[in-house]
Amino acid sequence: MRYDIAPLFCRPWTLNGITPRLIESHYENDYGGALNRLNAVTEELEALDPATTPGLVVSRLKRDEAALLNSTLLHELYFASLGGDGRRLPEEIAAAIVRDFGSVLRWRQEFIALAEALAGGSGWVLLTYIPRDGRLVNQSATDHMQSISGGIPILAIDMYEHAYHLDFGANATAYIAAVMRNIDWEAVQTRYRNALKVEPPPKLVQKQWPDLPAMTVEEVKSMLDAGQPIQIIDTRPRHYTTRAQDIMESAVWRDPERVDEWIGELSKSDPVVTFCVYGFHIGCETAETLRKAGFDARYMAGGHYAWKAKRNPVKLFE
């Protein structure tokens, strides 16, 4: 793999309060430098035999490769973030920011605070879209390596001193204000629209029970907290319970092999929630059996361990 230099995205002579000299130096020396080092490291990696090269050598080169790759990607994003007037946010990106930050002002204050916190240090501040959650977050990355997994950055400010020293000396505050005055929001919105096309990671699907209603552990917890009537049945298999030490606080354990023996204890007027160890088969099977018998039953996704992983209360299982 050979990485090609990306042409400068913004037009330096149009920027307000940032000189072409600064952008030229940044593009040529820092972006160009990272790209050339990235190609050198890539070449080294391609030339070595991973079967015989010491692991430490491979690992060091891979770490350099990741840092340099991120540096080139983030520099390209940074140069593509500039060139607008920083003021008018197009409707769609403005609505997304209001949805996720409360207001554009609040977003702006948080973004600037993160940048100010890197003054005198180094790093990036990014506005990033996370497909899993369908939302935007601001993040600060104190080196090239801390990008959010699966996140798609759509706006970047470079807070390495080389990004501002020529024009602003050590005055990072003036530099940050200048960048904010030059954000190209149309380009940010285009990247946001592209990011929206990325599907979230596939969710766990219980293929055998496509129509069986599930509840999350959070939903079950809030029903309990609200004092709503709910019958919770732990249906972990008998062989499993012999080594189990705890049980969800509001649950009773019933043997999933003997539903006929305990089904009579349940009330048809209140909802029933069943679950097993991880939330796969047994809890689903039992919920389905109960539904066929006329109960409003559903299974708790993630089962016993999801309940515990949320630090919800358990009691001793006797």
- Binding positions for Fe ion, rule: CB under 5 A: 30, 158, 160, 163
Residue among 159 and 248 whose Cβ is closer to Fe ion:
159
Residue among 104 and 117 whose Cβ is closer to Fe ion:
117
CB of 130 to Fe ion, least distance (A): 24
**Using N-to-C axis directions, what is the helix angle for 55-81 and 32-47, rounded to 10°?**
150
Residue among 128 and 189 whose Cβ is closer to Fe ion:
128
Cβ partners under 8 Å of residue 79, min gap 6? 8, 9, 10, 23, 27, 31
CB of 251 to Fe ion, least distance (A): 55
Q: Is 315 helix (H, G, I), strand (E, B) or coil?
A: strand
Residue among 18 and 276 whose Cβ is closer to Fe ion:
18
Q: Is 198 helix (H, G, I), strand (E, B) or coil?
A: coil
Q: How many CA atoms lie within 13 A of 97 on its CB side?
A: 23
CB of 124 to Fe ion, least distance (A): 9
CB of 178 to Fe ion, least distance (A): 15
Helix (H) or strand (E) holding 308: helix 303-309
Q: Are strands 124-130 and 152-158 parallel, antiparallel or unpaired?
A: antiparallel
CA 285 to chain CA mean position, Å: 33
CB of 120 to Fe ion, least distance (A): 16
Residue among 160 and 307 whose Cβ is closer to Fe ion:
160
Alpha-helical regions (H) of 102-164: 104-117
Q: How far is CA 289 from CA 204, 224, 297, in A?
A: 22, 24, 9
CA 271 to chain CA mean position, Å: 34
CB of 236 to Fe ion, least distance (A): 54
Residue among 141 and 232 whose Cβ is closer to Fe ion:
141
CB of 64 to Fe ion, least distance (A): 17
Q: How far is CA 152 from CA 96, 194, 197, in A?
A: 15, 10, 11
Residue among 34 and 89 whose Cβ is closer to Fe ion:
34
